[in-house]
Structures are given as structure tokens and as C-alpha cells.
Amino acid sequence: LSESGVPQLVQPMIWDYAADLDVEGKVHLIEKYRRCGFSKVWFASAFKGATGVNQSLTLIGHHLKNHLQWLKVASSSPADVLEGIALTGWQRYDHFSVLCELLPVAIPSLAVCLQALKNGGYSEKVKENVEKLLGMSNLETDTFMR
């Protein structure tokens, strides 16, 4: 792969939407990419639409945990390897499914995930900041928003 010249032309993106993604496995994968000549990698997470075929509401806690795991991967990897993270928001669970988790119901999840990434984690202060930004009095991450 390194002899092909491909690592100088592209940057791989590692996709995983799981709340319990394997941090050590991802770090090992990044090391493999580096040995093949890739100097940068991207991560892909999801702030909505990746948890069930008929999901209509977004469970923020699942997506928050995914982003916190990606932060662990980033902090366990060489500082110069991460090019960025793509926060995906799937409108369909797969190509044959009906629409799920429309954007309006997922905006709180997007805000929580962005703030967690921006602040390097999630805390009561981050929660309060999201509540203030969205004009909400009680952000719920472990149950569906009421």
C-alpha cells in the first residue's frame, strides 16, 4: 500500500457509531494506517440516525458516549494524526427504510456532541452551556427528551 502512492493521495476515515466503541482497537488501526504511510486519518461519528431502523426520537446519551469514546481514541493517538471528525446525522437507517430521527428532534443531540468535542468532554458546565444555547431548562441525555 505504501509503495502504491495512495497514502499521499487520500486520508482514510474510520467510521464507528457505537456507544462502546473499542478505543484500543481504533488506536491499533490508526497505527496500522501510519505504518502504511497515511499521515492523517478522519473519524466519523453520528449525532443521530444510527441506532435503529424505526427510531423516531434521538437518545442523546448514546451519541454522547460515542463522541466521548472518539475523544479517548484521539487522546491515545499521536497528536498530529487526526485531521478531523465528521459528525454524521443519518436520515435513514439504511437505503430501504423510512425516514427516522428528523433533524428538529436531533438538534439537542447535535449541540451536546459538538460541545463535548469542543470542550474535550462532558460536564455539568457543558450541559448548562447547551441548555443556555438552546433555551432549554432541563436537557435529558439518558432518556428521550420530553
124, 130, 136, 139 alpha-carbon torsion, rounded to 10°:
-50
Looking at residue 44, what DSSP letter applies? E
Would you say how long the chain is, in residues? Answer: 146
- What's this model's pTM, rounded to 2 decimal places? 0.92
Beta strands in the chain (DSSP E): 13-15, 41-48, 82-89
Please tell me the distance from the alpha carbon of residue 25 to that of residue 36, in angstroms, as a whole number.
17
pLDDT tens series, the chain, 146 aa: 889 999 999 999 999 999 999 999 999 999 999 999 999 999 999 999 878 888 888 999 999 999 999 999 999 999 999 999 999 998 888 888 888 888 999 999 999 999 999 999 999 999 999 999 999 999 999 877 55
Return the biggest CA–CA distance within the chain: 56
